Structures are given as structure tokens and as C-alpha cells.
Amino acid sequence: MWEYTTVTFNSLFDTEKSLKRKSDKVLEQHGKEGWELVNFQCVGGFGTMMVFVFKREKKQE
């Protein structure tokens, strides 16, 4: 069984460097928590919204 989480952020005013920094921070934080990136999209006009979808195995309660 899997659980999923979605992270979105606006990238309208980001430079290539600041966008890389934001993306790396999201990926590193979620990777440390056991999340695996399963999808990524740029949406909105000119790709102004970044969407990351992560999954991890759901812990048995």
C-alpha cells in the first residue's frame, strides 16, 4: 500500500539558479523522509507552477 504527497510552488519570478535551489530543497527534504519522486510537471502559463508528486510505502498501524 502506498501513500502520496504533492508539493507545488510558483516559479514565475525564479531564475534558473533559484529554481534549482528550490527544487533541490524539496527533493532532498522529501528523500530524507522516505518519499520517492514519481511525477513532475510544469503547469500554468509559461510553466509558472511546479508540481512534484511523491510516494512512499504506507506504514502499517
Beta strands across the sheet bearing 2-10: 2-10, 49-57, 36-43
- Domain limits, the chain: 2-57
At residue 30, the pLDDT reads: 97
Q: What is the C-alpha to C-alpha distance for residues 31 and 20, in angstroms, rounded to an integer?
A: 16
In the chain, where do the E strands start and end?
2-10, 36-43, 49-57
Q: What are the pLDDT digits (tens) for 10-57?
A: 988 888 999 999 999 999 999 999 999 999 999 988 778 999 999 999
At residue 32, the pLDDT reads: 97
Topology of the domain covering 2-57: Dodecin subunit-like (3.30.1660)
At residue 47, the pLDDT reads: 77
